[in-house]
Structure 1
């Protein structure tokens, strides 16, 4: 007589699945996926054997088909973590200026979508680049027209600059303003160049620097602008000779840095916090039969609290040619 044990206890150490992709018609590819060489080729941002899963990247991250490409101020598999510090060797700023162009004002210039406005903007931009590019003390990045007004053509605009960081940044900025004004005045004296139809003639006595439009250049203000959006209050400046470090209490080596011992300090929306990956994080994974390719995490113990979290396993990347051996249940026989 052959009997089976009343219960057979098996601990699953490897999740297996049946490869049915060769039997799947093209219509089963979701979200615009196409059937190619026996499988669904998914559009960027989707994954899964049927392209049924949409990739999720946080904080402006972009899915490249394999992983999230994160902005410079975030990291992590989903770009979910803010960086612990931002290093700056240059600072973006602008100088507000005004100049009059010796040219008749057209009503079309009141409309920034008109062809006349676009043509003027292009000519003005190109001419400013010729005047300001390659100057000492700053890097010219462009101009932005704020408004065009009648009176010949009065142009209110911003000159966009990058200044190399130094503790004397305020003095560098003031010098840059002087350099810009002098360069434009010199260009306005070149009467011969004004005969060119592609060159604007500037009135020398109209060139002004507007001191009421400038970016605040204190280290604190610079760090606020450089910090990830929503995390500004957690960054503070450390000034070095040629670099500004915008650091947090997760930055090792700074005063009052958080010591997480065996864990890791991460910057959350509520502020710096410790996460223990080695000891506190305990995964309990079970196969979810309702959603193929998904496991349920019954939580990782964080301060004694279990939290439910679903995550997707990319089964489309599993090597289906690999043989899997699972030990069969043993049968026992006994004689009566």
Structure 2
């Protein structure tokens, strides 16, 4: 192979490596000011002819990013399940029909009398009759107690306290036999069961759509229970994008958008190790040029040494 061909081949190989330098870059956040007529918005967004109208959980030009937080609220309703036998009432057929006057009258009396039993429990809201059965009158019902979220005590601990309070109140009520209201109800037996509320994480999972709920963590704030994304500093799985901006992408999770990617490269997906492209390409180009020059000189010197080597005109006789 000729010297010029070898030099050219080496030069092509080295220069071909320059665009293939492996660096981590991320696309910048862009905003489109004009959209086609049949533009498709993402994640349930609706196009109004000018822009995308996003659902509550998404934002962005095409509703491509999920919001950083979702507020669940300050409290949640909890349930304690009871079955009681009322001995001073007789079961009649109309009690099986929730639309009948007899059922509505019994329900009104039952709710009023149960308020005497549960009314002193903090957060008590109501009782809900699930079913009425014969046996005098057997009432399956739920006691609804509102529970506030607190950062210093878990949901399970608060529910356990509510359950114990309901149990204690009814034990005292059974001891006095009948309720003290205008239409007293006399009780002979009680069965009580727990129905634990969902955990904060379960509440977040129920509130958020599939594809993004995996990237949220529950935290307790002054405004109550809040589901924060991995892009929030309050999350235990916080993704720090340094000089960049974190945005939650459906299915894939948090992604860092680094600034000024037209003039900078970043050696980390979290926008660290910023390098000026012009300086990088210039330095790599100069180094590649020196390498090509050095190799070419070595090839030329090797070629010349071969040309100057004396050749034998005849072979020495063999004895």
Distance 1:113-1:70 versus aligned 2 partners, 3 A rule: farther
CA contact (8 A) 1:86 1:246 kept: yes
CA shift, 1:99, in A, is 1.3
Of 218, 234, 242 in structure 2, the residue corresponding to residue 237 of structure 1 is 218
The alpha carbon displacement at 1:266 in A equals: 4.0
Q: CA 1:129 to 1:259, structure 2 compared with 1: closer, same or farther past 3 Å?
A: same
Pairing 1:140–2:140 present: no
Separation in 2 of the partners of 1:265 and 1:69? Answer: 16
- Aligned CA RMSD, in angstroms, stands at 4.4
Q: Contact between 2:179 and 2:185, CA under 8 Å: does it hold in 1? A: no
The alpha-carbon distance between structure 1 residues 250 and 124, as it changes in their structure 2 partners (threshold 3 A), is: farther
Cα distance change, pair 158–190 in 1 and its aligned pair in 2 (3 A): same
* DSSP 3-state at the match of 1:176: helix
Q: Classify 1:70/1:159 alpha carbon distance in 2 versus 1 (closer, same or farther; 3 Å).
A: farther
Provide, for residues 90-142 of structure 1, a one-character-per-residue CA deviation record: whole Å limited to 9, x for no partner: 34321111112231101111122323222222332233334323424xx1122
* Alignment equivalent of 1:206, drawn from 180, 186, 189: 189
* Alignment-derived partner of residue 272 in structure 1: 253
Q: Please name the residue that 1:100 is paired with.
A: 85
Q: Give the greater-gyration-radius structure (CA).
A: 2
- For residues 266 and 192 of structure 1, do their structure 2 counterparts lie closer, same or farther at Cα, with a shift above 3 Å needed? closer
Q: Please list the CA deviations of residues 73-95 of structure 1 after superposition, one character each: whole Å capped at 9, or x if unmatched.
A: x47699x6754234554343211
- Number of residue pairs matched by the alignment: 210
CA distance in 1, matches of 2:156, 2:223: 14
Unaligned runs of 5+ in 2: 1-42, 45-52, 262-319
Distance, in Å, in 1 between the alignment partners of 2:247 and 2:91 is: 59
The partner residue of 1:177 within 150, 158, 163 is 163
Are the structure 2 counterparts of residues 92 and 259 from structure 1 closer, same or farther at C-alpha, using a change threshold of 3 Å? same
Q: Which of 231, 234, 238 in structure 2 is aligned with 1:257? A: 238
Residue 142 of structure 2: aligned partner: 158
Is the aligned partner of 1:126 residue 2:117? no
CA contact 1:100–1:207 (8 Å) conserved in 2: yes
| Mapped contact 2:228–2:234 kept (Cα < 8 A) | no
CA separation of 1:122/1:169 partners in 2, compared to 1, >3 Å: closer, same or farther?
A: same
Q: Aligned equivalents of 1:182 and 1:86: distance in 2?
A: 37
- C-alpha contact 2:159 2:196 (8 A) present in aligned 1: no
CA–CA distance in structure 1, aligned partners of residues 108 and 179 of structure 2: 21
Q: Tell me, which stretches of 5 or more residues in structure 1 are unaligned?
A: 1-57, 60-67, 281-336
With normalisation by structure 1, the TM-score equals 0.48
Q: Distance in 1 between matches of 2:153 and 2:232?
A: 22
Whole-angstrom CA distance in 2 between matches of 1:273 and 1:242:
25
Offset, 1:200: 4.2
Query: Retained in 2: the 8 A contact 1:258–1:265?
Result: no
Higher helix share: 2
Which aligned pairs between 1:2-41 and structure 2 lie closer than 5 A? none
Query: For the Cα contact (< 8 Å) 1:82–1:228, is it kept in 2?
Result: no
1:114 matched residue in structure 2: 100
**Structure 1 Cα separation of the partners of residues 89 and 159 of structure 2:** 31
Q: Is the 8 A contact 1:99 1:202 kept in 2?
A: no
The answer as to whether partners of 1:237 and 1:246 remain within 8 angstroms in 2 is yes
Q: 1:224 to 1:125 in 2, by over 3 A?
A: farther
